[in-house]
Amino acid sequence: MPEHAVGTQEEWQAARDKLLAEEKELTRRNDELTKKRRDLPWVRVEKEYSFETDDGTKSLPELFGGSSQLLIYHFMFGPVYEAGCTACSSIADNLDPNAVHLKARDTTLMLVSRAPLEKLQAYKQRMAWNIDWASTAGGDFNRDLGFTHTEEELKPFLEGEIPPVVKQMAVASGTDPAGYVAESPGLSAYALSDDAVYRTYVTTARGLEPTMGYYFLLDRTPVGRNEAGPQPFWLRRHDEYEDAASGATT
């Protein structure tokens, strides 16, 4: 634990009250952004997509499963992966128990990946998830949203100095860096109205942090995320931690 300033209860309360005012302002600002997010224009999805699911081949409208809203997490599990992305797996741990609550609000939540359905089914069983998971079955769904990249597009990145975390995550997924970064994570939202599907929102990178609940909890601990420095990236699949109670890693 690093050295830190120590004060009286009164000093702490004064600093906390000041911080609370800023936190409330951030909450109000977030409410404004949420409204702007809802106000974005919808884009009709004209292209027909096909997905392989546990219940057979389905179209995009059929993925809604009786809801009028659909949230898709684009899970990094490429055709050459032997296991799902570690970070995406941690996100799915957070999404899985929320699916039933979202369903109660007319929203279907599911995962979509490019790997064959049998790989997804086996990994889902290993992770003990209940959330629905579909394979794009070689289609362009992820590519059209910018979540799949060609070798030519990746060439500048791969010819440079590849970050250690990319190498670490690639090995953990049973592939090489080129195979790993051919996939990107993302979240996309859809509305179904009068048999037409509309894309309403798409995000990636740090826009995905709301799906990573552990970060918001770590942000409130004394040390925080504590990810700086040369040590290996701490995140593991939930069945790979040596000490689940403390979160210790190899």
Write down the pLDDT at residue 10: 96
Write down the pLDDT at residue 248: 41
Mean pLDDT by 10 residues, the chain (250 residues): 88 97 97 97 98 98 98 98 98 98 98 98 98 95 97 95 96 98 98 97 97 97 91 95 52
Among the four given CATH numbers 3.30.230.70, 3.40.50.10490, 1.10.3720.10, 3.40.30.10, the one describing domain 43-148+183-210: 3.40.30.10
Write down the pLDDT at residue 243: 56
Alpha helices in 85-223 (DSSP H): 86-95, 99-103, 117-127, 141-144, 151-158, 164-172, 177-181, 213-218
Q: Is 176 helix (H, G, I), strand (E, B) or coil?
A: coil
Exposure b/e, 60-75, CB count within 10 A at least 16 = b: beebbeebebbbbbbb
Write down the pLDDT at residue 84: 98
Q: How far apart are CA 205 and CA 125, in angstroms?
A: 27
Sequence spans of domains, the chain? 43-148+183-210
Whole-structure pTM value: 0.93
Per-residue CA distances from 24 to 15, 31, 36 (Å): 14, 11, 19
